[in-house]
A and B are shown apart, each in its own frame.
Chain A
Amino acid sequence: MTSFVSVENLSVRFHAAKPVHAVNGVSFDLAEGEVLGLLGESGSGKSVTLRALMRLHPDKVTRYGGAVRVDGQDVLGMAPAALESFRGKTCAMVFQDPILAFDPVYSLGRQITETILRHEPVDQATARARALELLERVQVPSARRRYDAYPHEVSGGMRQRAMIALALACRPKLLLADEPTTALDATVQIQVLLLLRELQKEMGMSVIFVTHDIGVATEISDRLAVMYGGRIVEQGPLAEVMRDPRHPYTRGLLASTVTGGMRGRRLEAIPGMPPDLTLLPPGCAFAPRCGLAGDDCRAAVPPLAATGRRQIACIRAEAPCAPA
């Protein structure tokens, strides 16, 4: 079986005064219609991985390694013309900050119409009608009026909905979402999450959803991949990872995340801070903060080893919890 998205040993390096090793050998597969949550803290490489899937990093300073295949196409080796039609048609992205993603001098509706015209052989009127329909579908109230609104004229939640409409304009098979709800208020965030979940089901899209928020990842994902220091440290079905995290970092992250009912208990913080991506240690990137780490952890990077449907990159990962 070939998967819809296959990322093999992807590495992304940025050339600067000190080279930044942002992504260091990431591999994952994604089936059609599946939602993968990429969970990680700042500097874990989650957004860089996501952008590499559309090759959005500036060519001049970026060096890619490994392979990315989406719908049978080799993204890293694609010619510029093919890449242009790939972006927006096969694969689209929703960013955290829609005000930066929209062009401020064109109306919201016009930008959606233009996207449709760019990728599909339809006339202006059809494209416009479809754009309107999309704005209605993403629950933009009085869509007809908002079609002519400029990005700065609408609220943050509305802009994010319009951004989703723009991304879905050509019915992409893969939607990449980079913290699309992080900047939104709580009551708006949940609306946008539910909308994305609904649209994903309806259109049967594959989605890769990057977030730092465990709650958001739980609401949206089927499968969860946890990133640290530019690598995936644990991966598996959402419920399994949440119920029984095995990698010490995943455990630490879940334990240090404040949820209801933790009042009065001291938080189990992970000591230290995330690694510097210009100076990664030779072994496991988490070893300096890990209570279980030994010399063998610091000697070599532990491989992502599969046990059942889980993959864990730790040589000291604890055995699965015995069924109660």
Chain B
Amino acid sequence: MSLVLHKPAADRGGPAQPLLIVGGLRKHFPIRGGLLGRNRGAVHAVDGVGFQVGKGEILGVVGESGCGKSTMARLLARLIEPDGGEVIFDGDGVGAADGISIRDLRRDLQLVFQDSFASLNPRMTIEDSVAFGPRIQGLSAAEAMRVAHDMLGRVGLEPSRFGGRYPHELSGGQRQRVNIARTLATRPRLVILDEAVSALDKSVQAQVLNLLLDLKAELNLTYIFISHDLNVVQYISDRVLVMYLGQVVEIGPVDSLYRDARHPYTRALLSAVPSVDPERRTRHSPLTGDPPSPVNPPPGCRFRQRCPHARAVCAAALPEPVEIAPGHRAACFMADPASGYDSSPTEGGR
């Protein structure tokens, strides 16, 4: 019995070809209401998002609730249809006539969600859950089970002890390991982790983060790591993308972005992280108020209503991302000398 069938899809584009190129990705959810069910506007969940992910890289995605992180994950996996934009997977347009089919994409790209319990079928043993993907891909039942046992072993769950258990018989950390095993059983090349460690206790979270890094090296994976936890994102990512109300406000190499954030929102987000040093507690809140709703966002920069540096120019146009360091771009007029941003204090300013 051989498992030749069961290898990751070949590297088609070569090492220099980014594994994923996303351009102008857009999804608006219309809101209907009123007497005749008329359109009352739209949630601009993802609004013109573009970025690349290189092979073997970990791209961290941060942002607050409602910024469109999870919608973006679902768009990339085509769990929902985008309204616009293109996604190129290893050189092949997703869903394009000469590109990669959605079916093939789903083999190459897998998702891990936050809720480990909701992600598993409660009436299937975990080995059956993990074997399900390979079965669909055409392996025989025995081969699929071998793959499942191999994967369970890799995530630290002894198949002979755990394989026959049901999801409710496991702890949260163990269930999330099962989800990771199940995801990897189809041998994907890109894994999107959507708050995958957020619900775990810290001591268990560290185990799963170590596991993710080990598996990435072993199986040659690329990750998109979505999280609201800036410490974890800093730990695991090579590059970081910051989203605000459906748009990318800043993207760059992790060190550059954490050391020298240029967008006021990124800076606020970073300084809102609670201190772990009793001598250096946070004194001032970087922002006031709650994140606004992504329903019918205002024209111009979407952050301007919460931004302490907002000027007239910020309301006039949407800032385009400008490069401020190699690979580090921020969509803020302050970062762009040609924008006409006037840095002198506003009337009555601080």
By a beta-carbon cutoff of 8 Å, the part of chain A in contact with chain B is 41-42, 139, 141, 155-158, 185-191, 193-194, 212-216, 218-219, 238-239, 242-243, 252-253, 256-260, 262-263, 266-271, 273-274
What is the total number of residues of chain B having a CB less than 8 Å from a CB of chain A?
Answer: 46
B228 touches A185 (CB 8 A): yes
B275 touches A218 (CB 8 A): yes
A186 to B277, CA, bound (A): 18
B290 touches A270 (CB 8 A): no
A258 touches B281 (CB 8 A): no
B281 touches A267 (CB 8 A): no
In the assembled complex, B65 has its CB within 8 A of some CB on chain A? yes
A92 to B207, CA, bound (A): 37
Min CB distance, B70 to chain A, in Å? 14
B205 touches A256 (CB 8 A): yes
B210 touches A185 (CB 8 A): no
**What residue of chain B has the Cβ atom nearest to residue A249's Cβ?**
B203
| For the complex of A and B, 3 pairs with smallest distance between CB atoms | A215-B274, A256-B206, A269-B206
B278 touches A263 (CB 8 A): no
In the assembled complex, B201 has its CB within 8 A of some CB on chain A? yes
A274 touches B201 (CB 8 A): yes
Q: Which residues of B contact A268 (CB under 8 A)?
A: 206
A157 to B288, CA, bound (A): 11
B290 touches A157 (CB 8 A): yes
B202 touches A257 (CB 8 A): yes
B210 touches A269 (CB 8 A): yes
A187 partner, pick from B172, B209, B229, B287, beta carbons under 8 A:
B287
**What residue of chain B has the Cβ atom nearest to residue A238's Cβ?**
B278
By a beta-carbon cutoff of 8 Å, the part of chain B in contact with chain A is 64-65, 171-174, 201-207, 209-210, 213, 228-232, 234-235, 254, 258, 268-269, 272-279, 281-291
A194 to B272, CA, bound (A): 11
Q: Which residues of B contact A214 (CB under 8 A)?
A: 202, 276
- Given contacts A156-B290, A186-B230, whether A193 and B209 have CB atoms under 8 Å apart is no
Q: Which residues of A contact B235 (CB under 8 A)?
A: 258, 262-263, 267
A219 touches B275 (CB 8 A): yes
- Given contacts A258-B232, A259-B276, whether A190 and B286 have CB atoms under 8 Å apart is yes
Q: What are 13 of the A-B contact pairs (CB < 8 Å)?
A: A41-B203, A155-B290, A188-B64, A191-B287, A215-B274, A216-B274, A218-B278, A219-B274, A242-B278, A258-B232, A259-B276, A262-B231, A270-B203
- Given contacts A187-B291, A188-B290, whether A239 and B228 have CB atoms under 8 Å apart is no
17 further A-B pairs in the complex, CB-CB below 8 A; given A41-B203, A189-B272, A212-B201: A42-B201, A139-B288, A186-B230, A189-B274, A190-B272, A194-B284, A213-B274, A215-B274, A256-B202, A256-B203, A256-B205, A257-B206, A258-B229, A263-B234, A266-B213, A269-B207, A271-B207
Min CB distance, A317 to chain B, in Å? 18
A273 partner, pick from B173, B231, B278, beta carbons under 8 A:
B173
B228 touches A260 (CB 8 A): no
Min CB distance, B278 to chain A, in Å? 4
A273 to B272, CA, bound (A): 30
B231 touches A258 (CB 8 A): yes
A212 to B209, CA, bound (A): 18
A212 partner, pick from B202, B258, B290, beta carbons under 8 A:
B202
Min CB distance, A40 to chain B, in Å? 9
- Given contacts A185-B228, A263-B235, whether A258 and B209 have CB atoms under 8 Å apart is yes
A257 to B277, CA, bound (A): 13
Min CB distance, B267 to chain A, in Å? 11
A35 to B102, CA, bound (A): 55
A269 to B205, CA, bound (A): 8
A186 touches B272 (CB 8 A): yes
B281 touches A219 (CB 8 A): yes
- Given contacts A258-B235, A269-B210, A273-B173, whether A190 and B202 have CB atoms under 8 Å apart is no
Q: Which residues of B contact A239 (CB under 8 A)?
A: 278-279
A218 touches B281 (CB 8 A): yes
A212 to B277, CA, bound (A): 16
- Given contacts A186-B230, A190-B282, A191-B285, whether A218 and B274 have CB atoms under 8 Å apart is yes
Min CB distance, B58 to chain A, in Å? 11
**What residue of chain A has the Cβ atom nearest to residue B285's Cβ?**
A191
- Given contacts A185-B64, A258-B209, whether A191 and B231 have CB atoms under 8 Å apart is no
Min CB distance, A262 to chain B, in Å? 5
